[in-house]
A and B are shown apart, each in its own frame.
Chain A
Amino acid sequence: MIKLLNAGLTRLRKNKLFWILSIFSIALGLYMIFINYSGMKNYGDTIEVEQLMLNYSTIIGVVIAIFTSLFLGVEYSDGAIRNKISIGHKRINIYLSNLIMVIITSLFSYLLFLGIVASIGIPLFGGITIPLSKLLMLLGCIFVTVIAYSSIFTFIAMIISNKTITAIVSIMLAFGMMMMALICFNKLEAPKTIQAATMVGGETKIEEVPNPKYLNEEERKIYQTLLDINPAGQMFQLAGRTAPNLKVLPIYSLGILVIFTGVGLVLFKKKDLK
């Protein structure tokens, strides 16, 4: 395992995709600072730097999907996996080392972004306005969700041998999870009552009526759970600081990690490689 990780880190340092990802993380941080600084200067917006720190979480799923499918896809297309097996590395170690590489890279990307935003954003926009413990908890939850994302996309990349199919499936899944999260969000955000216009004696009267799309208690629980399980849903809640129960999110993420990695290991162990 150590040898695999050592070789993996060497490859990562020489990998163009890794450097593109790093530059993207830095550029995204700088872009967010620039946009918000413009808003502050031109319109007098109040900028909460901690909000900027959390924003990357909403799109990092797509970033991890792209990176993982291309980085691990090469393991199949360039024959690296068969090389590792034929020189005596165990499949379980190959899978886990690849997962660890993806986790390291994904967290590194977020930390790089965070470093840029914090180092430039705090002096520019002022200090953090929420308790540090609260911010650390939110970031901690984001990091655990990043690990969950990594396990899902590593699973796809290790089970599908074709790099192109892996990329398509991963990216579609990343967007699919975001779509599902938005659907759940919209359902949960529906107001209890809506305004309805009625004609009484030739006059239009506007009154508050119960919203038929408002979810009942049972439905709210189901949609909230779906939102909590979905890593994209977790990220939206963490970035918006709207999670009703923050503590359950890492539990769901760890569940995703265990399930996807467990199933992935079993399938990869049985997989006929070409």
Chain B
Amino acid sequence: MEIVLETNNLEKRYKDFKALNHANIHIEKGSIYGLIGKNGAGKTTLIRIVCGLQEPTSGSYTIYGVDNNSINIASVRKRMGAIIETPSIYGDMTARDNLIEQYKLVGIPSFDGIDKILKLVGLEGTAKKKAKNFSLGMKQRLGIAIALASNPDFLILDEPINGLDPQGIIEIRELILKLNKEKRITILISSHYLDELSKIATHYGFLDNGSIIKEISNEELMKKMEHKIELKVSNQKDFVKYFEENKISYEVVDNKTINIYGKYNLSKFINELSKKNLIADEIHEQDESLENYFMNLIGGGNND
């Protein structure tokens, strides 16, 4: 699988504060990569560095295999579009004029594609309305339209749903999915709205205190978030053998703990086990959410 963006021990210091601490992320082509972290975890710093707005203190990154110290890094950025924190739009211009400006910046001589982009982001009816009079959702969509002007293969969206109303959130979500599915654009999206991210992301990177503490695909994550029964056992081998024989999805966590994934009736499940003389010391039934998973990863309230 082709890697679009890879960072290697990326570090960024502001005087004594480490905003990024050996951060390593890997974004595969075609994916929607959800970068999850609390406020101040380093999400925006990482995005600023990747977009060339800041230089890393140490470490490196590659975009489409081109190293950040390479002379070609500016050229490869032409394959990118980005919205960092707030969309880059001129408030005193209309949506169309903003796109004309962007077309000129990227060197596209014909403006034929502008109507198509405006339609794609749902801003075709804004006519002479100045961008400064747009709603927050419209501004975000115009920001995405501007980012799409260069026909990018890789789109970076930093907190795109911040401050949006539910309708705006749905519109942005649908737009992101459309861009990924129809235009095959790889998307890096940072947010602390976990529920929203879980609706679109194909991969996740969990950022805490400037470090990526876990990268996981949506598939793996969903598996982990399935209904789960945690067993504390002393005869682990016998339990494993039984689960193997009965094709029960399990995970050995440590030498005393086994997690069972899937929907089971707990009393029937215990009955079945006891018939085989498999008696657990403790049994816990859990429903994991992305939020729980994230909080467990970063160590819950201890990190706040």
User: Are A88 and B88 neighbours in the complex by a CB distance under 8 Å?
Assistant: no
Judge whether B105 and A274 touch: CB under 8 Å.
no
Q: What chain A residues lie within 8 Å of B100 (beta carbons)?
A: 10
**CA gap between A4 and B101 in the complex, in Å:** 9
Q: Is the beta-carbon distance between A80 and B90 smaller than 8 angstroms?
A: yes
Task: Flag if A82 contacts B51 (CB, 8 Å).
Answer: yes
CB contact list, A62-109 vs B, under 8 A: 74, 78-80, 82-90
Residues of B within 8 A of A16 (CB): 92
Q: Is the interface of A mostly helix, strand, loop or mixed?
A: helix
Q: Are B81 and A273 in contact (CB under 8 A)?
A: no
Instruction: Assess the B80–A87 pair: CB atoms within 8 A.
Output: yes
**What is the minimal beta-carbon distance from B265 to any residue of chain A, in angstroms?**
53
Kindly state the separation between the CA atoms of A273 and B48 in the bound complex, as whole angstroms.
8
- Nearest B residue to A2 by beta-carbon distance? B107
Inside 8 A of A194's CB, which chain B residues have their CB? none
B 143-160 binary contact with A (CB < 8 Å = 1; else 0): 000100010000010000
One of B71-79, B209-217, B288-296 at the interface: B71-79
Q: How far is the CA of A83 from the CA of B52 in the complex (A)?
A: 10
B86 within 8 A of A: yes
B84 is an interface residue with CB less than 8 A from chain A: yes
Q: How distant is the Cα of A78 from the Cα of B107 in the complex, in angstroms?
A: 21
Task: Tell whether A6 is near chain B: CB-to-CB under 8 Å.
Answer: yes
Residue of B nearest to A91 (CB): B52
State A15–B101 Cα separation when bound (angstroms): 12
Determine whether the beta carbon of B81 is less than 8 Å from that of A11. no
List chain A residues, Cβ under 8 A from B48. 272-274
Q: Does B40 contact A (CB under 8 A)?
A: no
Contact B84 A88 (CB under 8 A): no
The residues of B that contact A86 with a CB separation of less than 8 Å are 51-53, 77, 80-82, 84, 156
Which of chain B's residues have a CB closer than 8 A to the CB of A83?
82, 88, 102, 105, 146
A271 to chain B, nearest CB (A): 9
Chain A residues, Cβ within 8 Å of B101? 7, 10-11
B51 to chain A: which residues have CB within 8 Å?
A: 82, 85-86
Q: Which of chain A's residues have a CB closer than 8 A to the CB of B77?
A: 85-88
Contact count A vs B, C-beta below 8 Å: 86
**Which listed residue (B78, B89, B104) contacts A78, Cβ 8 A?**
B89
Task: Given A273-B54, A274-B48, check contact A88 B78 (CB 8 Å).
Answer: yes
Interface residues of B in 46-101 (CB under 8 A from A): 48, 51-55, 74-78, 80-82, 84-93, 97, 100-101
Residues B104 and A14 in contact, CB atoms below 8 Å apart: no
Contact partner, B53, options A14, A15, A74, A82, Cβ 8 Å: A82
Interface status of A41 (Cβ within 8 A of chain B): no
Cβ of A138 to closest chain B Cβ, rounded Å: 37
Contact-residue size bin, chain B (C-beta under 8 Å from the other chain): 35 or more
Contacting A79 at CB < 8 Å: which of B55, B87, B93, B106?
Answer: B87
A3 contacts the other chain (CB 8 A):
yes
What mask results when residues 95 to 126 of chain B are scored 1 for a CB within 8 Å of chain A, else 0? 00100111011110000000000000000000
Q: A10-B104, A86-B53 are in contact. Are A15 and B92 (CB under 8 A)?
A: yes
Beyond A6-B104, A10-B104, whether A79 also contacts B84 by CB under 8 A is: yes
Please state if B53 and A87 are interface contacts (CB–CB under 8 Å).
Answer: no
Complex Cα gap A98–B53 (Å): 17
Tell me the nearest residue of chain A to B92, going by C-beta.
Answer: A16
Q: Least Cβ distance of B298 to chain A in Å? A: 25
Q: Which residues of B contact A274 (CB under 8 A)?
A: 48, 53, 85
CA A80 to CA B146, docked complex, whole Å: 11
Bound CA–CA A30/B218 (angstroms): 69
The answer to whether A272 touches B53 (Cβ under 8 A) is yes
Determine whether the beta carbon of A87 is less than 8 Å from that of B105. Answer: yes
The contact string, 1 if C-beta is below 8 Å from chain B, for chain A 8-34, is 001100111000000000000000000
Q: Is the CB of B55 within 8 A of A272?
A: yes
Q: Which residues of B contact A11 (CB under 8 A)?
A: 90, 93, 101
Bound state CA distance, A3 and B87, in angstroms?
21
Chain A's nearest CB lies how many Å from the CB of B131?
Answer: 9
Measured between beta carbons, the chain B residues less than 8 angstroms from A90 are 74
Contact of A89 among B74, B81, B86, B156 (CB under 8 A): B74
Q: Which residues of B lie under 8 Å from residue A80 when comparing CB positions?
A: 88, 90
Give the shortest distance, in Å, between A70 (CB) and chain B (any CB): 11
Min C-beta distance of B8 to chain A, whole Å = 20
| Residues of chain A lying within 8 A (CB to CB) of residue B86 | 79
Q: Is the CB of B90 within 8 A of A78?
A: yes
Beta-carbon nearest neighbor of A79 in chain B: B88
Task: Known A-B contacts: A14-B93, A83-B82, A90-B74. Give 9 more (CB < 8 A).
Answer: A6-B104, A7-B105, A79-B87, A80-B90, A83-B105, A86-B77, A88-B80, A89-B74, A272-B54
Could you show 11 A-B contacts with beta carbons less than 8 Å apart? A79-B86, A79-B88, A82-B88, A83-B82, A83-B88, A85-B51, A86-B80, A87-B78, A87-B150, A89-B74, A274-B53
Chain A residues with a Cβ under 8 A of chain B? 3-4, 6-7, 10-11, 14-16, 74, 78-80, 82-90, 270, 272-274
Nearest 9 Cβ contacts at the A-B interface: A83-B88, A79-B88, A88-B77, A7-B104, A86-B51, A273-B53, A88-B78, A86-B82, A272-B54
